[in-house]
Copies of this chain bind each other. A is one copy, B any other.
Amino acid sequence: MQALEILQQHNLKKTSPRLAIIEALQSSGEPLAEAEISIKMGSHYDRTTFYRSMLTLEEAGILHRIIVDKLLVKYALNPAGPTVKSQTDHAHFYCNQCKKLVCLEEIHPGPYRLPAGFQTSESEVIIKGLCNKCS
């Protein structure tokens, strides 16, 4: 689906930073960090706008954020269609060698057997190792 259509579907204004972010992720085909997206967006790049756009796009269910390590965060487009919980409720794999991140859409972790009185609202799983190309 075109970036324009995605924004339209979610009733968001079709501004150029938002379009550029979505297109950068689409053209890459894999989750990217801010630095990687900024390179694809070229010179008219503002970090504040980027972070505010990401908040808007995440709240709309267009993409999700993956915290890989202390100072390493990547952003991934969600599959098209109506927002379903399982779209973001999946595990992620990070390759320690090629530094690429993969959404493991078919792995839905949990439920976990928590001690009495604990209530889960969300969970994040990140698996690290070597991907199929690097092993």
Report which of B65, B127, B133 forms a contact with A123, defined as CB distance below 8 A.
Answer: B127
Can you give 9 A-B contacts (C-beta < 8 A)?
A67-B67, A70-B73, A93-B118, A114-B127, A117-B135, A118-B135, A120-B127, A120-B128, A124-B124
Residues in B neighbouring A112, C-beta threshold 8 A? 91, 104, 107, 109, 125, 127
Contact B123 A125 (CB under 8 A): yes
| A121: Cβ under 8 A from any B Cβ | yes
Query: Closest Cβ of chain B: how far from A74's Cβ, in Å?
Result: 11
Contact B124 A125 (CB under 8 A): yes
Closest chain B residue to A123, Cβ basis: B127
Cα distance, A104 to B110, chains bound together (Å) = 14
Interface size class of A (residues with CB under 8 A): 35 or more
| Oligomer: number of copies | 2
Residues in B neighbouring A65, C-beta threshold 8 A? 70
Contact B125 A129 (CB under 8 A): no
Query: Closest Cβ of chain B: how far from A87's Cβ, in Å?
Result: 18
Query: Closest Cβ of chain B: how far from A122's Cβ, in Å?
Result: 5
Contact B114 A122 (CB under 8 A): no
Given contacts A73-B70, A125-B124, A126-B124, contact A132 B117 (CB under 8 A): yes
